[in-house]
């Protein structure tokens, strides 16, 4: 899928290794579901390491059940500093009596090989919930993982965090800040159990920009609200969601310590990364064949626009409609109508657009007559935009989702096997 451009940033290659001073690697250490054997050759353990100490920040799942790695990472990031990320797939290390112990052991194993403090390690896990994480494969693979770190190791690391993902999700941008060229890159896993409110993802972002830990946290907390929090696949918010940012300062810009124009540049670059990763995540929803973007304008407030956009992309009937390429505008009006927002439905217009054209589906709260063949052609593309005007004010918002297909049930019907 095409990246969506953002002003004042340039897309570059390299993912989490694009910024100066970041190495990565991924290996298959031999993790497997309980009762299963390791047959696939996919990597399952990744490491991202900065050459120097970084300012760091993170946001986490809002699920009341939190994976052990989140509990450990929260403690480690209390000082706003980090040097490395260790992350595994296959096993979420969640709802286990020894989960925190195992998460700490992962940090200690990585730190020993890297010669750093275990508290400077961010730890994350993704996979099956409720199965004990075997630490032996991780311990046995750590030396090889660390020795294989390279400044172009991002593809290996990215593969290691994927579970039911079918597409690789990484991006990097360059931008000017303080008279210096700065670079920021990120990678994301996420395909199922994805719902607005931190979404369901492990996302790791690196940058060589210099910025205080307070402002890294502020930028991340603000940007996640208008990117990952607006992506939904299936209405499920997971236990292990985490997005972290590490900023090394290697670009040499004067450190950003206040919310000025330079901070806005950093925040804009972070938006370019996270918005495009959110779109990639929605496009790769489990079993999905189409990316849906719902753009709402004309609301009294941004919050109202966001609520309406989320209501549409979360509607199972609407998602099934997109899969079946059936331009049933009544389902869109219905989803708008049951959103928890105040507006006058008699003002609401709906249009639908894709690379194959645009078509008006509704005007002033009523479904309009349209050419079914044209509608079918618009819906035949793999990226569909639903454009809604509430006709009441300046507020606007965008949310992303995907269609609901037969394969979603197939994938989740035997997830543990």
The set of catalytic residues is 200
Beta strands in 248-348 (DSSP E): 291-299
Interatomic CA distance for residues 412 and 164, integer angstroms: 10
Interatomic CA distance for residues 172 and 206, integer angstroms: 9
Would you say 283 and 313 are in contact if contact means Cβ atoms under 8 Å apart? no
Residues linked to residue 299 through DSSP beta bridges, in sequence order: 395
Residue corresponding to tokens 């899969």: 323
Would you say 247 and 211 are in contact if contact means Cβ atoms under 8 Å apart? yes
Interatomic CA distance for residues 108 and 306, integer angstroms: 42
Continuous segment of H or E residues that includes residue 56 = strand 45-60
Q: Which of 185, 182, 201 is nearest to 193 (CA)?
A: 201
* Gyration radius from the chain CA atoms: 22
Residue corresponding to tokens 């919050």: 303
Interatomic CA distance for residues 84 and 328, integer angstroms: 49
CA angle 199, 203, 167 (to 5 degrees): 85
Q: Which of 113, 294, 267, 296 is nearest to 205 (CA)?
A: 267
Interatomic CA distance for residues 323 and 249, integer angstroms: 45
Would you say 281 and 194 are in contact if contact means Cβ atoms under 8 Å apart? yes
Provide the Cα torsion 183, 146, 156, 187; round to 10°. -40
Q: Which of 27, 194, 48 is nearest to 124 (CA)?
A: 48
Continuous segment of H or E residues that includes residue 160 = helix 154-161
391, with CB counted inside 10 A (0-12, 13-18, 19+), is: middle
Pairing outcome for strands 366-367 and 357-363 = antiparallel
């Amino acid at each position: 899928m095409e990246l969506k451009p953002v002003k004042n940033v340039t897309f570059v290659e390299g993912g989490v290794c694009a910024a100066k001073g970041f190495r990565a690697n991924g290996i298959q250490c031999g993790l497997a579901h309980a009762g299963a054997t390791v047959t696939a050759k996919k990597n399952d353990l990744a490491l991202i390491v900065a050459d120097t100490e970084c300012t760091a920040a993170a946001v986490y799942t809002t699920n009341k059940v939190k994976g052990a790695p989140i509990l450990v990472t929260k403690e480690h990031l209390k000082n706003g500093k980090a040097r490395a990320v260790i992350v595994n797939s296959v096993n979420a290390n969640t709802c286990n009596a020894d989960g925190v112990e195992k998460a700490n052991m992962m940090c200690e194993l990585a730190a020993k090989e890297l010669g750093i403090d275990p508290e400077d390690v961010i730890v994350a896990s993704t996979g099956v919930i409720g199965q004990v994480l075997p630490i032996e494969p991780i311990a046995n693979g750590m030396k090889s993982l660390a020795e294989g770190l390279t400044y172009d190791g991002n593809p290996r690391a990215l593969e290691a965090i994927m579970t039911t993902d079918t597409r690789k999700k990484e991006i990097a941008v360059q931008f000017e800040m303080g008279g210096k060229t700065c670079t920021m890159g990120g990678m994301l896993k996420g395909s199922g159990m994805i719902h607005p409110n931190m979404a369901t993802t492990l996302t790791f972002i690196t940058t060589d920009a210099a910025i205080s830990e307070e402002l890294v946290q502020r930028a991340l907390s603000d940007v996640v609200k208008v990117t990952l929090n607006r992506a939904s696949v299936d209405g499920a918010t997971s236990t292990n969601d985490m997005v972290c940012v590490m900023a090394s300062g290697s670009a040499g810009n004067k450190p950003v310590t206040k919310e000025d124009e330079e901070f806005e540049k950093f925040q804009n670059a972070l938006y370019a990364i996270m918005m495009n990763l959110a779109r990639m995540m929605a496009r790769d929803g489990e079993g999905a064949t189409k990316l849906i973007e719902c753009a709402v304008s004309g609301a009294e407030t941004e919050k109202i626009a966001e609520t309406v956009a989320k209501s549409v992309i979360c509607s199972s009937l609407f998602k099934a409609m997109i899969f079946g390429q059936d331009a049933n505008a009544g389902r869109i009006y219905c989803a708008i109508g049951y959103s928890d927002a105040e507006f006058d439905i008699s003002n609401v217009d709906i249009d639908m657009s894709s690379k194959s054209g645009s078509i008006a589906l509704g005007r002033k709260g009523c479904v309009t007559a349209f050419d079914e063949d044209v509608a079918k052609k618009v819906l035949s593309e793999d990226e569909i935009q639903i454009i809604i005007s509430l006709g009441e004010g300046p507020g606007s918002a965008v949310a992303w989702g995907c269609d609901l297909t037969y394969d979603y049930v197939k994938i989740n019907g035997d997830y543990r096997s």
